[in-house]
Amino acid sequence: MTDSPLLIEDRGAVRVITVNRPDKLNALNAATLDALAAAFADAGADPSVRAVVLTGSGPKAFVAGADIAEMNGLTPVQGRDFSQRGQRMMRRVEKLPKPVIAMINGFALGGGLELAMCCHLRVAADTAKVGQPEINLGLIPGFGGTQRLLRLAGRAATLELCLVGAPIDAARAHALGIVNRVVPAAELETETLKLAEQLAAAAPLALRGMIDCINVGGEVGLEEGLEYESAQFGLVFSTADMREGTAAFLERRKPAFSGE
């Protein structure tokens, strides 16, 4: 649809989803949240898609935040509902059984950083800036920022970013563990797609098992996490990809994974 807030393109087995509101710095309104939820549901269900890249259009922003104009008139109940709408969508991304890479091409602030953090990996341009500036609006993060940032960067960094509200550059975000890689802006797309293609060529069921284990392990105790990992480890022995991968290793050849 021409009025969609997203651009969606398949590059081989990699689906690229672009938030396309450059005049609003790709701010997240309700329609964009719903479009993203639908787009990730489609990507998860499409067997031809092995990995997803999420980015923003234009040279300035990945996503500069939630749409303040839309939020300004919300009642307390509507505000809670808007928060839960965003959280549901981002939880869908986080639990997608295929790797999702945030390609952070500019500002990732507020809801934009929250969106990036729900992705499995984050590659940032060296010119990018990230932050949780909600305090400057009399708000708090509402799409999971306090929780995912705490898990990625720890208590001290989370308190600083949320309480002070000042953005940080990509180098510091990398040092804090918020982003996985920082690359020159001119190489961002090339390097991100290279990583996505590498993941797309990997064994899909093994990737899914790893994502599941890490999601579960981040929320439970060590013993429960280890037990879950053992169960998932056993399951992959039922897959053709496990037989192919081990056979290819023994035969000193490159494996060809089918997702079965």
Closest CA to 103 of 168, 13, 170: 170
Residue type, 176: L
- Note if 70 is an active site residue: no
Kindly name the residue from 94, 114, 191, 229 that is annotated as catalytic.
114
Kindly name the residue from 94, 134, 197, 224 that is annotated as catalytic.
134
- Note if 260 is an active site residue: no
Strands 181-183 and 121-125: parallel
CB 62 within 8 A of CB 104: yes
Give exposure, 184-201, as e/b (b: 16+ Cβ within 10 Å).
Answer: ebeebbebbbebbbebbb
Residues in the chain: 260
Burial class of 61 by CB neighbour count within 10 A (0 to 12, 13 to 18, 19+): buried
Tokens of 10: 């398949």
Residues 6+ apart with CB under 8 A from 43: 15, 17, 49, 52, 96, 98
CB atoms within 10 A of CB 238: 9
CB 52 within 8 A of CB 17: yes
Residues with catalytic annotation? Answer: 114, 134
